[in-house]
Amino acid sequence: MTDFADDSILVLLESAPGGGLAKSAAALVGAAAAVGTPVALVVTAPGDGAAAAAAAGALGASTVLVAEAADAATALAVPTVDALAAAADLVRPDAVLISNSLDGRDVAGRFAARTRSGIAADAVAISRDAEGIVAHHSVYGGAYNVDSAVTWGAPVITVRQGAIDLRADAQTPVVETLAVTPSGAAAASVVSFAESTETSSRPELRGAAKVVSGGRGLGSQEQFALVEQLADALGAAIGASRAAVDAGYIPQSHQVGQTGVSVSPQLYVALGISGAIQHRAGMQTAKTIVAINKDADAPIFDIADFGVVGDLFTVVPQLITALQARKA
């Protein structure tokens, strides 16, 4: 039986739908390594555990617990929560880190309720002080930074995808098979599914390093193509304001903001977006924000690192030409 370090941080690493670990895994292990000793948990279908454990080691996990469950891919959340409960019992971590993804939030909420743990949702950074692990959040559209800590036990912290740049050094991990007793808790099951046929070569919005977003200022669905052209020139994912979505320029899955996706890319380019607080809620933690808007008083300029006051239909084609000239 492995001895676990006193400063262990238990990290749940999700699998990607197409195999391998989810993109969120590297930042979770990196964040854990900065405040303690990362112990990764992977929950996989039978036979997939060894590959997942090796991938977790490459990301810097010194110990990997492998739980192989026959229903890992079909029963929603419960097998993972059962495994997480068994792992937490074994490791006695200082904190449990989980991605703030759809599945991660589901697992985190159930696990916290089952173990009576405090939960800190949507952290953008983690630190340790004399009393334990502290989660840092960016709230109300990035207008406030909030620190949260629990007063008992280990906090369950969900981490915003793309928010943490820290990466850990690769390890040759100690791999241990985790014995999990199924709780028998009711779980929704996936009876069948149809694979999405989206064939975009563009990066996915969640977790993208670069995002180009368009707002009502684009004026029409046809003209929204300009956002796509700039995104392609930069190799970026496409986002949108709610006004652009409501006007039918682009599907809702691209909406950035309070009621859409939260992103924390290296670069966020806002085209014809005013910068309403509900939009900022989903992008204010971007490392570099560039705004192009014809209204010099648009609130997006309050948070932009670089701003161009001008007509986007004049500025953006020039920007695309300049980017293409650089590549040539």
Give the binding site for ligand FAD (CB under 6 A).
Answer: 215-217, 241-244, 255-260, 272-274, 276, 278-279, 282, 292-295, 298, 311-313
* 175 versus 270: smaller Cβ distance to ligand FAD: 270
Residues in the chain: 328
Instruction: Give me the least distance between CB of 92 and ligand FAD, in Å please.
Output: 39
Instruction: Give me the least distance between CB of 179 and ligand FAD, in Å please.
Output: 43
Instruction: Give me the least distance between CB of 272 and ligand FAD, in Å please.
Output: 4
Instruction: Give me the least distance between CB of 315 and ligand FAD, in Å please.
Output: 8
* 114 versus 294: smaller Cβ distance to ligand FAD: 294
| Residue 149 C-beta-side C-alpha neighbours within 13 Å | 11
**Cβ(96)–Cβ(13) under 8 Å?**
no
Distance CA 200, CA 202 (A): 5
Q: Which two tokens stand for residue 68?
A: 């192989």
Instruction: Give me the least distance between CB of 275 and ligand FAD, in Å please.
Output: 7
* 203 versus 257: smaller Cβ distance to ligand FAD: 257
Instruction: Give me the least distance between CB of 19 and ligand FAD, in Å please.
Output: 32
* 150 versus 271: smaller Cβ distance to ligand FAD: 271
* 27 versus 286: smaller Cβ distance to ligand FAD: 286
Closest CA to 159 of 203, 208, 104, 112: 104
Q: Which residues have CB under 8 Å from 310's CB, separation 6+?
A: 292, 294
* Residue 273: φ, ψ to 5°: -120, 130
- DSSP string over 263-303: ---SEEEEES----HHHHTTTTT-SEEEEEES-TT-THHHH
Q: Which two tokens stand for residue 164?
A: 């943490």
* 161 versus 241: smaller Cβ distance to ligand FAD: 241
**Cβ(59)–Cβ(38) under 8 Å?**
no
* 36 versus 275: smaller Cβ distance to ligand FAD: 275
Q: What are the distances in angstroms from CA 157 to CA 112, 162, 180?
A: 10, 15, 22
* 42 versus 244: smaller Cβ distance to ligand FAD: 244
**Residue with token string 């280990």:** 154
Instruction: Give me the least distance between CB of 319 and ligand FAD, in Å please.
Output: 13
Closest CA to 261 of 276, 243, 244, 240: 240
Instruction: Give me the least distance between CB of 262 and ligand FAD, in Å please.
Output: 9
**What are the beta bridge partners of residue 213?**
239, 270
3-class DSSP state of 28 = helix
3-class DSSP state of 41 = strand
